[in-house]
């Protein structure tokens, strides 16, 4: 019975991972046949991304309902415990980034994945906001945290592998050269803080909440900057 349960968990996890990685290529392939405006294509792609997210939520719906109820009931204790590891991860991320900046000359390279998304959604801040504040934080935490934790039993193995995988697939496809992949290191440390916070609370809502908060701050700053530019034009 235990073996059957583990096999089911493994199969579910592999399906979620496969869906997450294959879906974007399928969408890009389908949209490539449409001769439509760039913004409309980006909007349709965003809708398709949210369909992918909805599918993953549907797969995990029972677990998510349980976690949500526990999260609301124990909000203060969960957030307090998660905050400690979030700050540790953030500090490690900042320190290693400073070291990298001091050792290497990456003046023309951004280590911020948000910058890449800003370039993609440069004409539509609303779509950028939806992508960075809602889609990516939720889908990545479900895929790289929940799925990996369900599959990997060992605490430290889960913390490292989930964080490294998240960092690697964040930067691997946007890196301008091989050397810039060094930013995977600080990003891994940041995600390790979130992974450990998830393990400590055993509630996926904790890392999702902190990822949303983390991504929300630069988006608000960008929105204010855009409004000021529009005002003074």
158 Cβ neighbours under 8 A, 6+ residues apart: 148, 149, 152, 195, 199
- Cβ atoms of residues 89 and 194 within 8 Å: yes
d(CA 16, CA 178) in angstroms, rounded, equals 29
pTM: 0.87
Domain assignment present for residue 225? The answer is: yes
Which of 223, 198, 218 is closest to 209 using CA atoms?
198
- Residues spanned by the domain of 148: 64-232
Q: How many domains are there within the chain?
A: 1
* 49-101 pLDDT, tens digit each: 999 999 999 999 999 999 999 999 999 999 999 999 999 999 999 999 999 98
Q: pLDDT value at position 1?
A: 47
The answer to whether residue 21 scores a pLDDT higher than 80 is yes
d(CA 191, CA 169) in angstroms, rounded, equals 12
């Amino acid at each position: 019975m235990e073996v059957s349960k583990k096999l089911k968990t493994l199969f579910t996890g592999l399906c979620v991972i496969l869906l997450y990685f294959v879906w974007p290529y399928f969408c890009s392939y389908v949209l490539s046949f449409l001769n439509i405006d760039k913004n409309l294509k980006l909007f349709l792609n965003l809708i398709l991304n949210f369909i992918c997210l909805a599918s993953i939520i549907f797969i995990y719906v029972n677990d998510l309902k349980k976690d949500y109820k526990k999260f609301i009931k124990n909000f203060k204790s969960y957030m307090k415990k998660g905050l400690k590891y979030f700050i540790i991860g953030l500090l490690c991320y900042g320190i290693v980034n400073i070291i990298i900046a001091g050792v290497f000359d990456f003046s023309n390279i951004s280590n911020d994945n948000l910058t890449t998304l800003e370039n993609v959604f440069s004409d539509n801040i609303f779509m950028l906001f939806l992508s960075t504040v809602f889609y990516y934080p939720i889908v990545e935490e479900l895929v790289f945290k929940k799925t990996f934790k369900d599959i990997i039993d060992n605490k430290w193995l889960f913390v490292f592998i989930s964080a490294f995988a998240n960092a690697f697939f964040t930067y691997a496809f946007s890196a301008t050269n091989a050397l810039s992949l060094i930013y995977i290191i600080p990003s891994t440390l940041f995600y390790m803080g979130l992974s450990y916070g998830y393990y400590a609370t055993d509630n996926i809502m904790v890392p999702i909440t902190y990822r949303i908060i983390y991504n929300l701050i630069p988006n608000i700053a960008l929105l204010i900057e855009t409004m000021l530019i529009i005002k003074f034009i």
